[in-house]
Structure 1
Amino acid sequence: METRIIQTSQRAGGEIWQEVSALAAADALHPAAVITAGNPRRPDPMRGFGGAFTESAAWVWSRLPQTEKQAVLTGYFDPVQGLGYRYGRTHMNSCDFSLGNYAAVDVPGDEKLWSFSCEREKGCLWQFIHAAYDLQQEPIPLLLSPWSPPAWMKTNQEMNNGGSLLPEYRQAWARYFVRYIAEMHKQGFRVFGVTVQNEPEATQTWDSCRYSAGDEAVFIRDHLGPALVQEDLQDVGIYFWDHNRDLVYDRACEVLADPAVARYISGQAIHWYSGDQFDLVERTKREFPDKEMIFSEGCIEGGVKLGEWDRGEIYAHNMIGDLNAGVTLWLDWNMLLDLQGGPNHVGNFCDAPMIADLDAGQLHRQSSYAYIGHFSRYIQPGAVCLDFVMESETASAVETTVFRNPDGETVCVLLNRSDNLENITVQGSHGSTSVSVALPAHSITTVLIANKE
Structure 2
Amino acid sequence: MRYHIRYTAFLICFLSVLSGKAQERDFLNQKLTMYTTAKDSQLRLEKAGEYVFTKADQPLETEISIFVNPSKKYQRFLGVGGAITDASAVVFASLSKEKQQHLIDAYFDPNTGIGYTLLRTTIHSSDFSPESYTYVEEGDADLTTFSIDHDKQYRIPMIKRAMNAAGNNLTFYVSPWSPPAFMKTNGSMLKGGKIKNVFRQNWANYYVRFIKAYEAEGLPIWGLTIQNEPMATQTWESCIYTAEEERDFLKDFLGPTLEKSGLGSKNIVVWDHNRDLMVNRANVIFEDPEASKYAWGTGFHWYETWTGANPLYENVNRVQEAYPDKNLMFTEGCIEKFDATRYQFWPNAERYGEQMINDFNNGTVAWTDWNILLDQNGGPNHVGNFCFAPVHADLQTGELIFTPSYYYIGHFSKFIRPGARRLSTAVSRSVLLSTSFLNEDGSIVTLVMNKTNEEQVFNLRVDNSETHLTIPAHSIQSLMY
Paired residue for 2:454?
Answer: 420
SS at structure 2 position matched to 1:144: strand
> TM-score, with normalisation over the residues of structure 1?
0.94
SS at structure 2 position matched to 1:12: coil
Residue 437 (structure 1) aligned to one of 469, 474, 478? 469
- Answer whether contact 2:352 2:405 (CA < 8 A) is retained: yes
Residue 135 (structure 1) aligned to one of 158, 165, 169? 165
**Change beyond 3 A, Cα 1:206–1:138:** same
- Answer whether contact 2:31 2:52 (CA < 8 A) is retained: no
Matched residues in 2 for 1:444 and 1:40: separation? Answer: 25
Paired residue for 2:233?
Answer: 203
Residue 81 (structure 2) aligned to one of 41, 47, 50? 50
CA shift for structure 1 position 24: 11
Q: Is 2:101 aligned against 1:70?
A: yes
> TM-score, with normalisation over the residues of structure 2?
0.88
- Answer whether contact 1:17 1:370 (CA < 8 A) is retained: no
SS at structure 1 position matched to 2:207: helix
Paired residue for 2:141?
Answer: 111
SS at structure 1 position matched to 2:152: coil
**What residue identity is the alignment partner of 1:421?**
E
Q: Is 2:441 aligned against 1:407?
A: yes
CA shift for structure 1 position 398: 0.7
SS at structure 1 position matched to 2:222: strand
Residue 46 (structure 2) aligned to one of 7, 10, 17? 17
SS at structure 2 position matched to 1:327: coil
Paired residue for 2:252?
Answer: 222
Residue 295 (structure 1) aligned to one of 330, 343, 348? 330
Matched residues in 2 for 1:343 and 1:41: separation? Answer: 46
Paired residue for 1:277?
Answer: 312
Superimposed CA distance per residue, residues 212-266 of structure 1 (whole angstroms, 9 cap, x where no aligned partner)? 0011011000100001100111111110000001111111011111100000111
- Answer whether contact 1:85 1:376 (CA < 8 A) is retained: yes
- Answer whether contact 1:141 1:191 (CA < 8 A) is retained: yes
SS at structure 2 position matched to 1:120: helix
Paired residue for 1:313?
Answer: 350
Matched residues in 2 for 1:320 and 1:43: separation? Answer: 14
- Answer whether contact 2:110 2:166 (CA < 8 A) is retained: no
Paired residue for 1:348?
Answer: 385
CA shift for structure 1 position 346: 0.4
Q: Is 2:361 aligned against 1:327?
A: no
- Answer whether contact 1:23 1:438 (CA < 8 A) is retained: no
CA shift for structure 1 position 350: 0.5
Superimposed CA distance per residue, residues 293-348 of structure 1 (whole angstroms, 9 cap, x where no aligned partner)? 00110000001421111121110010001010111111110000011110111000
Residue 386 (structure 1) aligned to one of 401, 423, 436? 423
Q: 1:159-170, aligned counterparts within 5 Å?
A: 159-170=189-200
**Change beyond 3 A, Cα 1:140–1:23:** closer
SS at structure 2 position matched to 1:51: strand
- Answer whether contact 1:423 1:438 (CA < 8 A) is retained: yes
Paired residue for 2:36?
Answer: 7
**What residue identity is the alignment partner of 1:253?**
N
Identity %: 37
**Change beyond 3 A, Cα 1:427–1:103:** same
**Can you give the 5+ residue segments of structure 2 that lack an aligned partner in the other structure?**
1-29, 306-310
Q: 1:262-273, aligned counterparts within 5 Å?
A: 262-273=292-303
SS at structure 1 position matched to 2:143: coil
- Answer whether contact 1:7 1:20 (CA < 8 A) is retained: no
Matched residues in 2 for 1:399 and 1:44: separation? Answer: 19
Superimposed CA distance per residue, residues 147-182 of structure 1 (whole angstroms, 9 cap, x where no aligned partner)? 000000000001010001001000000000001000
Superimposed CA distance per residue, residues 121-154 of structure 1 (whole angstroms, 9 cap, x where no aligned partner)? 1110111101112323425331110000000000
Superimposed CA distance per residue, residues 346-392 of structure 1 (whole angstroms, 9 cap, x where no aligned partner)? 0000001101011111001000001111111111211111222323x
- Answer whether contact 1:5 1:19 (CA < 8 A) is retained: yes
Residue 35 (structure 1) aligned to one of 66, 69, 75? 66
**Can you give the 5+ residue segments of structure 1 that lack an aligned partner in the other structure?**
none
Matched residues in 2 for 1:37 and 1:248: separation? Answer: 30
Matched residues in 1 for 2:91 and 2:277: separation? Answer: 34
- Answer whether contact 2:117 2:169 (CA < 8 A) is retained: no
SS at structure 2 position matched to 1:174: helix
Matched residues in 1 for 2:401 and 2:352: separation? Answer: 17
Superimposed CA distance per residue, residues 32-86 of structure 1 (whole angstroms, 9 cap, x where no aligned partner)? 4111112566643101111101000000000001111001100000111111011
CA shift for structure 1 position 196: 0.5
**Change beyond 3 A, Cα 1:41–1:221:** farther
**What residue identity is the alignment partner of 2:166?**
Q
- Answer whether contact 1:386 1:403 (CA < 8 A) is retained: yes
CA shift for structure 1 position 397: 1.0
Q: Is 2:396 aligned against 1:359?
A: yes
SS at structure 2 position matched to 1:121: helix
Aligned residue-pair number: 441
Q: 1:228-239, aligned counterparts within 5 Å?
A: 228-239=258-269
SS at structure 2 position matched to 1:201: coil
**Change beyond 3 A, Cα 1:149–1:307:** same
Paired residue for 1:374?
Answer: 411
**What residue identity is the alignment partner of 1:299?**
C
| Bigger radius of gyration | 2
